[in-house]
Amino acid sequence: MSDSQKPKFTIPPPDKASKPEMLRALEFSMGSSFSTSPICPPPNPLIIVISGPSGVGKDAVIKKLRQVRESLHFVVTATSRPTREGEVDGKDYYFVSEEEFLSMVERNELLEYALLYGDYKGIPKRQIREFMAKGHDIVLRVDVQGAETLRKILGTSAVFIYLVAESELELVERLIDRKTETSEALLVRIATAREEVKHVRDFDYVVVNGEGKLDNAVKLVESIIDAEKAKVQQRRAVHSYCNCNDYPDVLQLLVLKFLLHFVKSETELHSQDVTNLPEILFLNLFHKSGRKDPFFQRNSLFGFCYLPLLTSSMPEPNLVFVALQLGARRYLAHGHVFRIEVAKFAICEKQPSGGGDGSV
């Protein structure tokens, strides 16, 4: 039977046919069945970093957010400070001794850590790795110093939210009401807060947590999360930085050897000296000028050492793309301590340039 002789299929009027009949007729006319798969794929897991000066109510916002957003995983920070009234170990913080904290640093268990007001605080990697693998959104509560470090580690793969009080006076009154600080400690926190407020433009969003307006602040944080999850071009939370312990120690030592080779080298290193890198090499160099890093004060994998700045045009002091292709080496005038944390790397070789073969 020719096409012209085939019976024509007519779609019935909607008011004359049932929904199943209409669907079958429409599918026949379209030449395919209607897909039941989601039009948009599930959104990517999101990392939300909540920060702000001391006294803005970070803990209060996190506590309320836990109640209204059960799908979020709130990473519990490890700290060496004493427990405050009402705080629960394992829920508000993991309260550990300074000795235990330094052991966690040695074992490379922390994504980020800092010494703040005389106490250590750090973010355990394991929680992030496990819950991101399950598709959970992750919330990190950090101080401003920690947020700066995380920005350099995570880049645009995370959302950075800055909490502020409505005024400086309101912030100071909250610090006084806590009754947990000495007069000297209060002065330090207030002076630090004044400096930290200057970093607000380094964040993606700012949320005002006014006195008696906690619900409004939490709703705004929720709106930010919803908006980020609805973006067409979504952030991709890269979690290779959480897998540092998966690499054999011998490879980490090879990276250190690679760096020290160029520290001792008498020749300048130019872009043509490193070619055909099979993989980008990431190193997080945590610059701890002004104090010795506890990572080096104990018997760690790398021991105690001072490393000079390797290039003259380093884009960021804390995150280096070590194609070491950025120009000639430059030494720091003073011996600053760097902690080396390997996230992802390849074994690279320096091409012969007059001297030895320079290979690793």
Report the catalytic residues: 84, 178, 189
Q: What token pair was written down for 154?
A: 């995570």
Rounded Cα–Cα distance for residues 53 and 135 (Å): 30
Q: What token pair was written down for 27?
A: 């599918």
Three-state DSSP class for 133?
helix
Rounded Cα–Cα distance for residues 317 and 25 (Å): 65
Rounded Cα–Cα distance for residues 324 and 274 (Å): 7
**Cβ contacts of 18 within 8 Å, gap of 6 or more:** none
Q: For 328, what's the count of Cα atoms within 13 Å in the CB-facing half-sphere? A: 5
Cα separation values, 317 from 108, 314, 339, 343, Å: 20, 7, 12, 16
Q: What are phi and psi of 173, to 5 degrees?
A: -60, -40
Rounded Cα–Cα distance for residues 98 and 294 (Å): 10
Give Cα 133 to chain centroid, integer Å. 15
Tokens 């190193």, residue located: 283
Maximum distance among all alpha carbons in the chain?
97
Cα separation values, 288 from 142, 150, 295, 323, Å: 18, 15, 11, 23
The closest alpha carbon to 180, from 66, 268, 87, belongs to 87
Rounded Cα–Cα distance for residues 32 and 319 (Å): 51
Cα separation values, 253 from 240, 248, 288, 346, 349, Å: 19, 9, 21, 12, 15
Rounded Cα–Cα distance for residues 18 and 8 (Å): 20
